[in-house]
Amino acid sequence: MSRSILKAALKRGALLAAANWPVTLIQSSADSIYKLLLAAPLIGGVFLVALAVGSDPTAIISLESREMLAMVATALTARPVVLTAFLLALGVVSVGGSFFVFLVKAATVATLVQSDRDAGPIEEPPLHVSAVARASRFSVDGYLTSARALFPRYAQLGVVLMGVYLASGGIYLAAVISRDPREGWSATALITVAFVAWITVVNLLYLLVQIVVVADDCGVAAGGRRVAAFVRHERRHVASIFLLVLSLILAATGASVLATAALGLVAFVPFFGLAALPLQLLAWLLRGLVFQYLGLASIGAYLKLYRGFSGAHAFRSSGSGSSVPVAGHAGGSLVHP
């Protein structure tokens, strides 16, 4: 029974993501824009260091990544004013880009939630392309409306996430710095593994709260309490979906690494090497789209599990934003794009 539930949830998530394929393109574009925004102050930091030490920026960029980072860090630490300007620029771009991603993610999740509510049992055989196409709920006006309606709650949730990131990063750095050098690198490796595992759990809970906030049209605090109850009740199914999606992402990452290595070999071949750069850009684009599609498919899978849970443990939002059980109610109201 458990296997059939997981199969149906994953299949439904994949079909919902396919039906609303424009949100995959939008989400991938938003993440790419955010990464480009982060690259701007980093490249600017190289030029700041070059101006401060009187060196050629191209000579610094041509260094290996470790040497370049070590040189930039040393030069910035020795010049507090330059370091302050660099950190301010990085902070402004990071925070501003994060809020942009929160805005886009709000509309994306709202589109998938609306599609899940109206799609019907599209995961049940026989599979009809027309039924999947009718499950699409993407529209430009609806996307913008959902983004405006949900942004305050998603921004609040995002601030909480960034606070957890900062606190976790501070604890991790303190643990690594305070480590006894005589212990070797095994202790650092264990601390790093624990840190990565913790961040992974935080990201999963963050995604589930995003889903519940839209599905039940509730506040962040109420969404957090409902996610806690949901995870306690469906921990095996949630963990199974998470591990399956993580396995697919790791497999896609491995395929991407192999493709990049193969294209690197092609670059040395005369004539064929001219096609290496376009092929690398295409591979980078496909990699981003595949990762986004897997992420959106997981949202659809978690949605199916949560609908089943909320049908048996239904809630509504009271005026204070607290979760109040409602007998016979099949879930909270949705944000209608």
Which pLDDT value is given to residue 109? 95
Q: What is the pLDDT of residue 35?
A: 86
d(CA 183, CA 230): 41
Sequence-separated (6 or more) residues with CB below 8 Å from residue 307: 116, 215, 331
CA nearest neighbour of 204 among 235, 175, 173, 167: 235
- 46/104: higher pLDDT: 104
pLDDT at residue number 287: 82
Q: What is the mean pLDDT of residues 163-172?
A: 92
pLDDT at 66: 67
- How far are the Cα atoms of 61, 90, 222 from residue 51, in angstroms, in the given order? 14, 18, 51
Confidence band for 317, pLDDT divided at 50, 70 and 90: very low
Does residue 324 carry a pLDDT above 50? no
What's the pLDDT score for residue 153?
95
CB contact at 8 A, 94 and 38: yes
Q: Could you read off the pLDDT of 231-246 as tens digits, one per residue?
A: 999 889 999 999 999 8
Chain-wide mean pLDDT for the chain?
A: 81
Burial of 201 per CB tally in 10 Å (0-12, 13-18, 19+)? exposed
pLDDT tens for 191-208 read: 889 999 999 999 999 999
pLDDT tens per residue, range 270-285:
555 555 666 667 777 8
Summarize pLDDT for 38-89 with one digit per residue, the tens: 888 777 777 777 776 666 666 666 666 667 767 777 777 777 777 787 788 8
